[in-house]
Amino acid sequence: MTLLTVAVTSLRELSRRRVALLFVFVLPLVFYLVRIDVPWQALRFLALGVGWAIATLALFSHVAARRLDQRLSVIGASPTALFFGRQLAIISTGLVVAGIYFVLVAVTQDVPRLPAVALLLVTTVLIAAPLGAVVSLVVPRELEGALALLSIMALQLLVDPDGTAAKLLPLWSTRELSAYAIEPVGATYLHQGLAHFAITLVVCILIAWAASILRLRPVRLDAPDEYQDATPLNTHDAGPDGANGRLRV
Amino acid sequence: MTSSQEWGAQLTTHLIEAGVEAEEAHKLAGDFLAEAQDAGQDPVGLYGPAMAYASTIAQTIRTATAAIAPLDRVRGPVVLRLSRVTKRYRRRTVLRGVDLTLRGGEVAAVVGANGSGKSTLLNICAGATRATSGTVERAPRVGYAPQQHGVSPLLTAAEHFRLFGAVHGMNGRKSLAIGTHLSQQLGWRPRPDVIAAHLSGGTQQKLNVVLSELNRPDLILLDEPYQGFDQDSYLDFWDQVFKWRDAGAGVLVVTHLLHDLERVDHLLELPRVDES
């Protein structure tokens, strides 16, 4: 219940960041158009653009919600529900972006394996959302976090994808999956891409989830002995239909 | 529409915004217009601007309601106990050896200069910050209003009520009904389409306070919650604090103002430890 409420609430917050949402849609488009003459690069750049946009959205969403989430956890909200609720909202937004760009690719490119494009965009969104959360928890300030993400994405764009170091980067799988979608290559690319995606996804989620729990979990405080021995008492104006339980020794 | 009718309509609107029930607001406006007509005067000349008069009337109604139905004061069990609580950030000591025992039905005020650790103490009581040493015991059902960032600027009041209500296991309808009712007790009627960022500072703080009380907690922790309040809202706030107390809740208020402190049960003055 809390998880879904947090997800719906986060979606409402995101929907009111209209300018930010506009850039979330525009950034991948710019990446795509700048390389549209080279289909496999256009596709890979599009995926990286989607990843960057959604990771940045996740970063800002988690940083902005940090104090409110701390307050909610103090009054009893589960840090796990808060984390996954916000992730659910970001992933939903990301899937809408992915869907729109899948249609764009289908219309503007002659892709031999079109379903692989959908797979590419969805896996990118699924990695980007927890990646942004990881950065927000390690660097809990918007500017510094955005610069950290910029560094990761710049590395992702500039590093030699055949090198060993490239495989340590979170979106290496986009190269394998984009190659599988466009070029006449075997299923090895698909398998390698999916394996890298699965490992990256699990690592990002585990780190972000654990860090989120560590940051949000309130200090455990015992109730005073007298309080534990007390019995409920209703004396408060409980409002329209609110039940109330005060305590009396 | 004549100027009198316009004044009456404005008065009704402002009374409703100040938390007066719509039916009562219409009746009051009608009574005032009839009185002005009997006196042969323009209502603006007799009562003054509608907005200011509505504020005065709403305040009078709330005060009268509190006086008519005083609640029995109940001293309950201990809801908060601090024993030798100390907080250090690296080498800097912020709090040293703080003791406090607060029962249900009592109000404690925490006062002190800037940097004396008032907000840190409140966060320790809430469980948001860990004390370096000492023990903290408190009731599990707690309401907590931090000084800043306690609300989301992009959510409406109703969305806040639903979110906080969900944490307390309430459905959306119940959360909204209780939140609206509590808001009216602070002289504020939330509008459904206004996000918190577009509320005045004082109204944002009212939302902050209402959220802290949504689950009828046994212990309410408030960190200078009246910042941005006008005089009427400030008085309403303290009325509300004493209503919570009379209903059996323990209330801990961090404050730097010295008004109303003669009415509190405990006054905890924090020195600046580095300077003491």
| pLDDT over 90 percentage in chain A | 72
Chain B residues whose CB is inside 8 A of the A219 CB are 124, 127-130, 136
Domain membership of residue A233 (yes or no) is: no
Least confident of A245-249, B130-134, B222-226: A245-249
Domains in chain A, number? 1
Together in a domain, B127 and B64: no
Whole-number average pLDDT of chain A: 88
B216 and B131 in a single domain? The answer is yes
**Are B8 and B135 within one domain?**
no
pLDDT score of A231 more than 90: no
Classify residue A171: in a domain, yes or no. Answer: yes
Does residue B118 share a domain with residue B55?
Answer: no
From B153, which residue of chain A is nearest by alpha-carbon distance?
A13
> Hey, is the C-beta of A214 within 8 angstroms of any chain B C-beta?
no
Contact B114, B147 (CB under 8 A): no
| CA–CA dist A118, A111 (Å, integer) | 11
Domain end call among B34, B53, B68: B68
Residues B143 and B265 occupy one common structural domain: yes
B76–A246 CB contact, under 8 Å: yes
Question: For testing the chain A interface, which of B154, B214, B219, B240 should be mutated: the one with the most A CBs within 10 Å?
Answer: B154
The average confidence (pLDDT) of chain B is: 86
Does B89 fall in a domain?
Answer: no
Q: How far is B5 from chain A (nearest CA, A)?
A: 33
Residues B236 and B159 placed together within one structural domain of the fold: yes
DSSP-assigned beta bridge partners for residue B144: B221
The average pLDDT across B211-219 equals 92
Q: What is the pLDDT of residues B123-158, one digit of tens each?
A: 999 999 999 999 999 999 999 999 888 899 999 999
Interface contact A92, partner B, CB < 8 A:
no
**What are residue B42's phi and psi, to 5 degrees?**
-75, 135
Residue with the bigger pLDDT between B197 and B1: it is: B197
Q: How far is CA B35 from the centre of its chain?
A: 35
* In-domain check, residue A245: no
In a domain, B93, yes or no: no
pLDDT greater than 70 at residue B218:
yes
In a domain, A157, yes or no: yes
Backbone angles phi, psi at B105, to 5 degrees: 85, 15
What does the pLDDT average to over B9-24?
Answer: 80
In a domain, B95, yes or no: no
Residue A209 is assigned to a structural domain of this protein = yes
Find residue B254's DSSP bridge partners: B110, B223
Q: Does B221 lie in the same domain as B129?
A: yes
> pTM value?
0.80
- Claim to verify: residue B56 and residue B130 sit in the same structural domain: no
Spatial separation of the C-alpha atoms in residues A3 and A77, rounded to whole Å: 9
Element (H, E) at A123: helix A114-138
pLDDT, average across residues A32-40: 88
Domain presence at residue B214:
yes
pLDDT at A238: 43
- What one-character-per-residue DSSP string does B6-47 give? HHHHHHHHHHHHTT--HHHHHHHHHHHHHHHHHHTS-HHHHH
A50 and A128 in contact (C-beta within 8 Å)?
yes
The answer to whether residues B176 and B257 belong to one domain is: yes
| pLDDT at A245 (0 to 100) | 35
**Residue of A224, A239, A245 with shortest CB distance to B77:** A224
Chain A residues with CB under 8 Å of B126 CB are 74, 218
Mean pLDDT of B220-249: 82
**Residue A134 in contact with partner chain B when CB distance is under 8 A:** no
At position A125, the amino acid (one-letter code) is V
Domain tally, chain B: 2
Position A79 pLDDT exceeds 70: yes
Indicate the SS3 state at residue A249: coil
- Measured CA to CA in angstroms, residue B156 lies from A9, A21, B195, B245 at distances of 10, 19, 4, 29
Nearest to B209 by CA among B196, B223, B219, B198: B223
Tell me whether B91 touches chain A (CB under 8 Å): no
**CA-CA distances (angstroms) from residue B94 to B98, B112, B160?**
11, 12, 33
Instruction: State the sign of the Cα–Cα–Cα–Cα dihedral B146, B148, B153, B156.
Output: positive
Q: Does residue A156 belong to any structural domain of this protein? A: yes
B118 in the same domain as B61: no
In a domain, B139, yes or no: yes
The answer to whether residue B75 scores a pLDDT higher than 80 is no
* Window B:58-77, CB contacts with A under 8 Å: 71-72, 74, 76-77
Percent of chain B with pLDDT over 90: 44
Identify the pLDDT of residue B276: 45
Give per-residue pLDDT as tens, A140-195.
888 999 999 999 998 988 888 778 888 899 999 998 999 899 988 889 999 999 99
Instruction: With respect to residue B53, please indicate whether it lies within any of the assigned structural domains.
Output: yes
Query: The CATH number of the domain where B222 resides is what?
Result: 3.40.50.300
Q: Is B26 on the interface with A (CB under 8 A)?
A: no
The reply to whether B239 falls in a domain is yes
Question: Per residue in A93-142, pLDDT tens?
Answer: 999 999 999 999 999 998 899 999 999 999 999 999 999 999 998 888 88
Nearest neighbour of B155 by CB, restricted to A12, A71, A226: A12
Domain with A162 in it: 2-224
Q: Is residue A132 included in any domain, yes or no?
A: yes
Tell whether B120 and B246 lie within a shared domain: yes
Domain that residue B61 falls in? 3-68
Whether residue B241 is contained in a domain is answered as: yes
Average pLDDT over residues B33-57: 83
Q: Which of B11, B39, B68 is at the close of a domain? A: B68
